[in-house]
Amino acid sequence: MLRMAFRTFRRDWNAGEVKVLLFALTIAVMAMVAIGSITDRVHRAMGEQSSEFLGADYTFESPRPVEPEWIERGLSDGLDITRSQSFATVLSSGNNFQLVSVRALGGKFPLKGTIEIAEKPFTQGVVQQAQPKAGTIWLEPRILGVLGVEVGDKIDFGSIQLTVDGVIVAAPGQASEVFNIAPKVLINLEDVKKANIVQEGSRLSHTLFIAGEPAVREPYIQWLKEQKNSTQRITGGKEGTPALKAALARAETFLRLASLISVVLAGVAIAVAAGRYSQRHFDYSAIYRCLGMQIRQVHKLYLWQLLMIGLIGSGLGLALGLGLQSLIINQFSDVLPQPMVGIGLAPVITGALSGLVVLLGFALPAFLQIAKVPPLRVLRKELLPRAMSSWVIYLLSIGVMALLMWWQSNSLLLVGILLAVAVVTYLLIRLIAWFIFKIGVWLGKRGSLAVRFGVGQLKQYPAFTISQISAFGLAFIIMLSTVLLRSELLSEWQSQLPENAPNHFLINVQEQEVEPLESLLKENNVSTEGIYPMVRGRVVGLNDMTLEEALDENQQRTGAVRRELNLTWTTEVPEANEVTKGQWWSEASADDGRTEISVGEELAERLGLELGDVLTFSIGRLEIEGEITNLRSIQWDSFQPNFFIIFEPGTLDEFPASYITSFYLPLEDKNVLNQILKAMPTVTIIELDAIMAQVQSILNQVTMAVEFIMLFVLLAGVAVLYAVLQVSREERLLSATLLKALGARKKFIRASILAELALLGLFSGVLGVIGGEILVNILYSQAFNIELVLHPWYWLVVPLISVSFIGVVGWLGLKHLLNQPAHQVLREL
């Protein structure tokens, strides 16, 4: 049977029988390997790059000194590790004092990224990877004005004096620390002991900055996780980057979705090609049965052929996919995240195995059907194989495919959404395709003779026509969904960092300074995002219970209930916020005797809070209760003042407050900052230019990665559409040749073919828009947290594109026959 399978395969190859299925499989594997490899490399590169915000690939934080042997193990493995200690203290110069947050470094810093040090505040600095020399200190700009010092002056640090050696312009970690009350300073670890500041019982935070190659660091990090206790924490680059967390999470979801889409595209192409292949072999199977072959032998014969197709197609697709992803990464290295990591083994293996599994899952039922053909078919062509119970095979293939999709995406949510939507959409597609097919037939009867003939060709094989419409429609659904998701993601990122996004914060503004500050900013044409009052308070109770009674252990570890929060009040919903549950307070609510509060929905979810719950706050020595009347979604990465808790106006008037605001200031107008400091010396200015430049740089590269992956998915979809067109090419070729042999003119043949292809394109485009809108809006709400939106413009564009593509590609594959003698074409068929 194996030798016979080889001979049959060679015959089918020469006759072109197997080429379409092999082409579909090759394209599918190539798409999965290339998309999977590029997605994996871009995903890992984004992770590597985001570590620049943390200063290392990972940090290990502990309230006690880290075991020396833990550090030695990492160093012996070849990792870079820098020790640091963090604590709060007071710097002084003359009669001026400032509370600061000290980070004492025991080695090169940062290990990833750079630190920018300048000689004067609010100027450009020198980018470097270093640490302060012993006896020197690097300060944030706001400290110099408070202490009245400049670079080169000495300040008191415990029992010693340190020389101000530079001003910190940008440093890893600033993005998550801009609202710290105590500004940061960097010193050499050797100076901590000399200063006699740290004594027995002092509160310290010990941190290890860890960097190295993934193959070395990941096992070490895993080992550290097994050794650490509940008071110690390991943070990766993305977890330590609040300004990028949401953007990177959405980008990763999109990239995972691209991998899943490649699997679905493969299934579409292979299912159509395999179905057509099996139909064309019904006659061969009937002959084999007449010659005495048993069903078992026919099964074995075609299973061997399926295995050959799988091995050859997977091998070709694997080679082409690897070559293509390497070529693309090299060609577009300037716009993709850097440094770009090497190719991983997992997506390559997954792509190859996915191709084989998809081939078996979607082609096996069709191949098993071949052996069921009755021998009498050699005399009666209308006889088809008896129905078989293939639902078990389909369920098994879908299950295996779901596992492969999960392996590729590592997201059960995405796999579940795609599988559920795929099943429902496929059923709807079959129903809608049948309905559209009937409408098309009805319309075709009212066209010209050539149009009626083209529609008749569709009507002659209704099952095959509906399969084609379904396949084309599903491919357009996938491609349209990819385009729409990409557009919404880019729109979200652009709105996240608009051109004039706030790049400066002012904090510690006193109430009597609010009006002078507003006047000063107005004179210099600087517009703020609003000036918000701020009161410090701690959550101490929930619904007449203490937090220990009301919350479980995990909830009690939430940072927002373990520290003081910035509380504010406002009449309007802040710009970067949106009420998602409940109602914002109105004037009537101020008279009902309740103290109403608004809570961020993330905090409410972590603490299990609902509308109507009452929180108790401790502010100074007083306590105040507030009833939750609405929840808000908060865009934390908007670089605007945001608050977990907002009170209704008038409820915190008795408490002393400072004020905070943010505004955009171009580089050429930096002198405004000096005017502010001169008029209000106690105001703290926080510059975010360098942080925002880093964020924007990474977002630009992530954007290019998403654009590129989207383009490649579209190309893969085009290849699948071409494969489906190739399946039906021979039928159209035979029909056109018979018309030519019967004396039909070229004009009539051309018009009938184009009418048939145009109708297929129109029907497929309409299906693509309907299914695409459904799928995209489900993904918007469930996977990307984007508001639902319709895209009416695409209802016109997609059908036009579908008609153009299917018409042009289909015609290019058939036009040559008009110039060939009919007998030559028939002989080739």
pLDDT in tens, 131-161: 899 999 999 887 887 788 889 999 999 889 9
pLDDT of residue 615: 93
Residues constituting the chain? 829
229 or 594, higher pLDDT: 229
- Same domain? 393 vs 262: yes
Residue 88, domain member (yes or no): yes
Question: Which residue in 604, 662, 661 sits closest to 632, CA to CA?
Answer: 604
Place of tokens 């004096």: 161
In a domain, 603, yes or no: yes
Q: Same structural domain for residues 339 and 459?
A: yes
For residues 557, 558, 563, 569, the Cα torsion angle rounded to the nearest 10 degrees is -160
- CA 158/CA 632 separation, integer angstroms: 45
**Residue 489: pLDDT band with limits 50, 70, 90:** low
Last residue of a domain, one of 641, 663, 685: 663
Domain end, chosen from 621, 647, 663, is at: 663
Nearest to 89 by CA among 8, 155, 135, 14: 155
Distance from C-alpha of 318 to C-alpha of 568, rounded to nearest angstrom: 58
Q: What's the pLDDT score for residue 307?
A: 85
Let me know: does 511 contact 660? Beta carbons within 8 Å. Answer: no
Confidence of residue 223 (pLDDT cuts 50, 70, 90): very high
Joined tokens for residue 754? 């184009």
Considering the domain boundaries, does residue 503 fall inside one?
no
Which token pair is 651?
């409820």
Are residues 61 and 40 part of one domain? no
Whether residue 88 contacts residue 101, with contact meaning beta carbons closer than 8 Å, is answered with yes
Same-domain pairing of 423 and 468: yes
Q: How many Cα atoms sit within 13 Å of 599 on the Cβ side? A: 22
Q: Is 412 helix (H, G, I), strand (E, B) or coil?
A: helix
529: left (phi over 0), alpha (psi -120 to 50) or beta: alpha
* Minimum mean pLDDT range among 269-273, 306-310, 712-716, 750-754: 712-716
Task: Determine the Cα–Cα distance for residues 759 and 472; give it in Å rounded to an integer.
Answer: 12
Please say if the pLDDT value at position 360 is more than 60. Answer: yes
Chain-centre distance of CA 57, in angstroms? 20
| Average of per-residue pLDDT across 242-247 | 56
* Pairwise pLDDT comparison (365 vs 241), residue with the higher score: 365
CA angle 231, 234, 236 (to 5 degrees): 155
Residue 602 has pLDDT above 80, yes or no: yes
CB 605 within 8 A of CB 785: no
Q: Are residues 573 and 551 in the same domain?
A: yes
Cα separation, 234 vs 211, whole angstroms: 13
703 with 819, same domain: the answer is yes
Q: Is residue 249 part of a domain?
A: yes
- Report the pLDDT value the prediction gives residue 697, as an integer from 0 to 100: 65
Please report whether residue 346 resides in a domain: yes
In a domain, 668, yes or no: no
Tens digit of pLDDT for each residue in 371-406?
777 777 766 766 666 555 555 555 655 666 676 667
Which residue would you say has higher pLDDT here, 690 or 126?
126
Q: What is the pLDDT of residue 72?
A: 92
pLDDT of 99 over the 60 cut:
yes
Distance of CA 207 to the CA centre of its chain: 30
Kindly state whether residue 445 falls inside one of the protein's structural domains: yes
Domain shared by 620 and 749, yes or no: no
Is 737 buried (19+), middle (13-18) or exposed (0-12) by CB count in 10 A? buried
Structure-token match 């067109």, residue found: 725
User: Is 682 within a domain?
Assistant: no
Terminal alpha carbon distance of the chain = 27
Q: How far is CA 658 from the centre of its chain?
A: 39
pLDDT per residue over 668-698, tens digit each? 787 788 788 778 877 877 777 766 666 666 6
Q: Are residues 542 and 609 in the same domain?
A: yes
What per-residue confidence (pLDDT) applies to 38?
74
* 265 phi, psi to nearest 5 deg: -60, -40
pLDDT in tens, 41-94: 776 776 666 677 778 888 898 888 899 999 999 999 899 999 999 888 889 898
Specify whether 557 is located in the same domain as 489.
no
pLDDT band at residue 239 under the 50/70/90 scheme: low
Number of domains comprising the chain: 3
> Cβ distance 162 to 154 under 8 Å?
yes
- 64 and 44 in one domain? no
CB under 8 A, 24+ apart: contacts of 128-134: 131/82, 131/105, 131/106, 131/107, 131/186, 131/188, 132/105, 132/165, 132/166, 132/186, 132/187, 132/188, 133/165, 133/188, 134/188, 134/190, 134/191
Residue scoring higher pLDDT (648 or 49): 648
Is residue 757 pLDDT above 50, yes or no? yes
Question: Which residues on neighbouring strands pair with residue 256, listed in sequence order?
Answer: none
Kindly state whether residues 402 and 326 are assigned to the same domain. Answer: yes
pLDDT confidence of 414, banded at 50, 70, 90? Answer: low
Which residues neighbour 460 within 8 Å (Cβ) at sequence distance 6 or greater?
Answer: none
**What is the extent of the structural domain holding 706?**
2-48+245-495+696-828
pLDDT of residue 187: 94
Q: Are residues 277 and 231 in the same domain?
A: no
Judged against a pLDDT cut of 70, whether residue 128 lies above it is answered with yes
User: Under 8 Å CB-to-CB from 403, ≥6 apart: which residues?
Assistant: none
Whether the CB-CB separation of 578 and 598 falls below 8 Å is answered with no
Average pLDDT over residues 634-650: 83
| Pairing state between β 233-236 and 565-569 | unpaired
Question: Does residue 175 have a pLDDT over 60?
Answer: no
- CA torsion 165-166-172-176 (nearest 10°) is 110
| Nearest to 98, CA basis, from 174, 172, 155 | 155
Is the predicted pLDDT of residue 643 greater than 60, yes or no? yes
Across the chain, mean pLDDT equals: 77
Please, are residues 98 and 146 in contact by the beta-carbon 8 Å criterion?
Answer: yes
Give the distance, in angstroms, between the CA of residue 358 and the centroid of all CA atoms in the same chain: 25
In terms of pLDDT, which residue wins out, 186 or 456?
186
Q: At which of 638, 663, 688 does a domain end?
A: 663
The answer for 6, left when phi > 0, alpha when psi is -120 to 50, beta otherwise, is alpha
The pLDDT, as a whole number, for residue 178 is: 47
Residue 767: closest CA among 477, 559, 448, 339 = 477
